[in-house]
Amino acid sequence: MKPVAVNAASLERAAAAVREGNLVVMPTETVYGLAGDATNPAAVARIYAAKGRPKFNPLISHILDLNQAERHAHLHPVARSLAERFWPGALTLVAPRRADSDIAELACAGLPSVALRAPAHPVARALIGAAGVPLAAPSANRSGRLSPTHASHAAEDLGEEISVILDAGSCPLGLESTVVSVSADGVVTMLRPGAIARADIESVAGPVFDAGASNAPTSPGMMESHYAPRARLRLNATTAGAGESYLAFGAAGPPGALNLSPQRDLIEAAANLFAFLRQLDATGAKVIAVAPIPREGLGEAINDRLARAAAGR
């Protein structure tokens, strides 16, 4: 995929691709991002597939301003002050996710928190505005490679699954955003150092703790783990036993079973994973038996997630 110059026509093509659930590469002031509609689980699954990540790490959703951020997260006054000072800009805020946010659970990797950033780059802002949805966008590189600071890097690294690569030259900062979490009770934790210095964050927010530091106050809002069903999970189950709910893949299961993907499409399966686990959990079944999922492509991340859900309770 060849990068294209940014103009009204290429921006509209990129926005249309995003609205259809496809992926585009967009310049931001930090690094180039691989962007898709954060509210569309299939688009989010395509992002993980394109990056070749072996796990569903949570993605940053890009919005225009504090107002939009408040639709997705519960922002403590400290989080609001940080946004007012540093947005638009290279600060990502992680905060408790609102139950009525339409950002896909897959974009948050099943965490009760959501990561939000209002980028400053005019092209990123134009795309977010034209698409009309928050854009989930990790760096536009294959997993394990360097973050791309030029459109050609993204083009070399990513395949034909990208609809449009918008080329706006090199990224002004060339460094990832600083990721800071602000819990419901206002505890500020550094999750990733980046383009905005810690001292600048502290000048607004007061002391910033390191993730996992022993002196960090426990913060009930942020330390919750990934979503795990109440039911026990039985993995690699080719049939459902008596009283078990069944999560199928490919071949249909017994009546009442849900099928992650009758077509054996791992992107569709990833898109359905959280919603279907919740639906089966809500039936009150003690055990959810899950069909074997192949370990190729996104199957690796799906299996990783299922193994954690099976162990983490």
Interface residue list for ligand AMP (CB under 6 A): 57-60, 92, 94, 108, 111, 113-115, 138-139, 176, 179, 191-192
What is the maximal distance between C-alpha atoms in the chain?
A: 60
CA distances 246 to 108, 193, 236, 238, Å, are 25, 42, 11, 9
Residue nearest to Mg ion (CB): 139
User: Is 259 near Mg ion (CB under 5 A)?
Assistant: no
As a whole number of angstroms, the distance between CA 230 and CA 253 comes to 21
- Which of ligand AMP, Mg ion, none is residue 93 near (CB under 5 to 8 Å by kind)? none
Q: How far is the CB of 138 from Mg ion (least distance, A)?
A: 5
| Angstrom distance (rounded) from CA 209 to CA 41 | 32
Minimum CB distance to ligand AMP, residue 231 (Å)? 24
Rounded CA separation 271/279 (Å): 14
For ligand AMP, the closer CB: 179 or 240: 179
| Cβ atoms of 71 and 8 closer than 8 Å | no
30 binds Mg ion (CB under 5 A): no
Measured from the CB atom, is 281 or 300 closer to Mg ion?
300
Q: Does 219 bind Mg ion (CB under 5 A)?
A: no
Shorter beta-carbon distance to Mg ion: residue 139 or 181: 139
Q: What is the nearest approach in angstroms of ligand AMP to the Cβ of residue 236?
A: 29
Interacting residues of 165 by C-beta distance below 8 A, sequence separation 6+: 1, 2, 3, 4, 24, 25, 151, 154, 155
| 43 vs 40: CA distance, rounded Å | 5
> Considering beta carbons, is residue 59 or 240 the nearer one to Mg ion?
59
State the Cα–Cα distance between residues 10 and 167, nearest whole angstrom.
10
Which one of the spans 2-10, 53-61, 70-78, 136-144 is the region binding Mg ion (CB under 5 A)? 136-144
Q: Which of 22, 139, 149, 303: binder of Mg ion (CB under 5 A)? A: 139
- Residue 114 binds which one of ligand AMP, Mg ion, none, with CB within 5 to 8 A depending on kind? ligand AMP
In the list ligand AMP, Mg ion, none, the entry touching 191 (Cβ below 5 to 8 angstroms by class) is ligand AMP
| Residue 92 engages Mg ion in binding (rule: CB under 5 A) | no
